[in-house]
Structure 1
Amino acid sequence: MLEMDECVNLYVTPRSGKYRTVDTVVHLDCLAASETVEGVKARIEAEYGIRVARQELWLGDAKMENARTLESYGIQAGVPAFIHLDFEAGDDRITITLNSTCYPRPFTVTTRELERVNYLVQQIVGPIWRVYPRDKINLYFRGRRLDDAGNCIPRLWRYLVFDGAVIDVEYLPAPPNVWPRCRF
């Protein structure tokens, strides 16, 4: 185990387009300065359960190469380092799992569709469950609730949901005396 003054504390934030944000989405504690960029991706996958092998990591305006080490980019132990992850590398897909005793069914969207994910959910579950205004759809990622279903949620990007990640959808129908349920 490395001593604290031998550690690199790495913060990974999203890089791309209008989704760029200062919010930290990944914190990797106590990396070795000799760790490769490929090793950093492996740590993200191991600790956060998200595949990032095909994504690009950036330090400023420089794309980081997999085989190079953190120290080769001037990242030093004892100094917090901030790098960025490019969400738009590739056409990555996200699995949406509809958790309902009424009609559980997975489907997929791309990263570019995430801002419309609530609309997509409504389009898919609507013909099956006949979603009504009083109904709720809660979205979860790794057990963490993302936002109210009534909103358009570009904030999903802050949770690093991309490339094989799974979003769980909890469908909460209004009480039966308000709306009829599960019509096919």
Structure 2
Amino acid sequence: MAILFLVGLTIFAALSFGVFKSGRDGGSKENERNLMIASQVIQFGIEAGKRVEKLQADGVALSRINFDPAAAEDDETALFSPAGGGMIYEEPMGTGRYMAAWKVLDVSDARDGFLVSGLGSDAAVRGREVVMYFEGLEPAICSQMRKGWGLDPEIPVQEVKLDFDHRAAIRAGANATTFYATPGRAFSCFRNGRKGPYIYYQALAIQ
């Protein structure tokens, strides 16, 4: 886990440089706005992953971590609690007309959950990831992120839409419980279905 988020921070630094450079080169205020938003979104996700790692190091089982932003201040199992992970919740930026909020797909159930293709074991139950995500990212910001990562700015589409109401874990693949549009990436963005919203996600724990 420590290696994962060290790599994540390195990629974040590269992203900031890449997007900042493209913004400066173009002299566009919109590009600089996109840089600010991309930085906020990515940094928040990476920081959440580090705090989850800390909770686990403190002896809190992954299945017991409380991801409720309104958790009690004395809840030692909560990510967003001074007594637990100590994380301060922030609404995601760059969501256009959507009233977006960060959501977490956890592993509190014995079998339900989601996977990120190409990370961890990809097995149906033991390979479930803890994933934080939000819907409604502006496509221009997703494209700018991809440029900063050195990728094609064209946003990938997940043809089989993620179904967040259906949590029965299936082995990683082109199915409704796998983030498969951007395989092998601990954090990224894509379109959920041909006409669906744009999603940004961060894997907080990989199994």
The structure with the largest alpha-carbon Rg is 1
TM-score by length of 1: 0.26
TM-score by length of 2: 0.24
More helix by share: 2
More strand by share: 1
